[in-house]
């Protein structure tokens, strides 16, 4: 086991806010520094490890629990873990914080209207057509973090500047 645990950087925010995009840039920046890093995108983990897991609150809870556990296991071996996951309820993210010693919560803030315009995965369009009715922030309340380590607003800040804010916080906390 590595002497220094890696950080678990959890990006939370509505669908379309920019979580996965910024997480990818942070991942690249950490790699450029020669640091070990793993990117656990919630949608990819769900698709590959739990394809039968639905989108009820219980299923979302289970998915975030699995993400936090994987983050914990990787970080204890010195890997920095980037996780992009809505994690709808604060208690989901609080549990992840308790599980992971070097936890950094990044709130990717973006107005719902702009998230709906971006709609990279077609989620909001599917909801508008009546195909789904379990969208965070519309059908399921999204609880904004109360005390995240980093708040980035993707409606006013470009992606690279957002990623640099996360890197600066990791440096300030002496996680990297």
Q: Is pLDDT above 60 for 2?
A: no
Distances (CA, A) of 108 to 78, 88, 92: 25, 13, 16
Averaged pLDDT score across all residues of the chain: 93
Q: What is the CATH number of domain 8-172?
A: 3.40.50.300
Tokens of 78: 């010195």
* 57 band by pLDDT with thresholds 50, 70 and 90: confident
* 60 band by pLDDT with thresholds 50, 70 and 90: confident
pTM, rounded to two decimals: 0.93
Q: Is pLDDT above 50 for 167?
A: yes
Q: Is pLDDT above 90 for 46?
A: no
Cα angle, residue 90 at apex, residues 94 and 4 outer, rounded to 5°: 30
């Amino acid at each position: 086991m590595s002497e220094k645990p890696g950080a678990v950087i959890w990006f939370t925010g509505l669908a379309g806010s920019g979580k996965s995009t910024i997480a990818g840039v942070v991942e690249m920046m950490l790699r450029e520094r020669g640091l070990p890093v793993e990117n656990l995108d919630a949608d990819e983990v769900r698709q590959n490890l739990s394809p039968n897991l639905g989108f009820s609150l219980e299923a979302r809870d289970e998915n975030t629990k699995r993400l936090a556990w994987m983050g914990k296991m990787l970080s204890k071996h010195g890997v920095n873990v980037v996780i992009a996951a809505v994690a709808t309820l604060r208690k989901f993210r609080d549990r992840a914080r308790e599980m992971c010693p070097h936890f950094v919560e990044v709130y990717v803030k973006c107005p719902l209207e702009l998230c709906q315009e971006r709609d990279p995965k077609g989620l909001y369009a599917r909801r508008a057509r009546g195909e789904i009715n379990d969208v965070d922030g519309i059908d399921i309340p999204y609880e904004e973090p109360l005390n995240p380590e980093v708040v980035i607003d993707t409606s006013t800040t470009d992606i690279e500047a957002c990623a640099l804010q996360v890197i600066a916080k990791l440096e300030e906390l002496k996680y990297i």
